Amino acid sequence: MSIDEDAARRGILKFLDKQGGSISLALLHGHSKLMYQAAHEAFSKLMEGLVGDGLVTFSDQTFHLTDKGREVVAGQV
């Protein structure tokens, strides 16, 4: 089953925002698998893209929404 990458990216950013802007790798992976059928390789590809686009950062096993990511969630970009 293929995933809708654009929908998954938007959904992950919105979920991160709803969680206060930070969430652990494990929790976000579980959410991604459940909501977007994006697990393992697909999840890694999505998150690498979000980090590469400057929308999230990753440190200490936690993803953090950047200001640019918040702008995307707010529809300002």
Q: Does 23 have pLDDT greater than 90? A: yes
Is 32 within a domain?
Answer: yes
**pTM of this prediction?**
0.87
State the CATH number of the domain containing residue 48. 1.10.10.10
What type of residue is 60? D
- What is the number of domains present in the chain? 1
Residue 56 — φ and ψ, nearest 5°? -140, 160
pLDDT of residue 77: 59
Q: Which residues contact residue 47 at a Cβ distance below 8 angstroms, ignoring those fewer than 6 apart? A: 12, 28, 56, 58, 63
Helix pair 5-18, 25-36: axis angle to 10 deg: 130
Give me the percent of the chain exceeding a pLDDT of 90: 64
Is 76 within a domain?
Answer: no
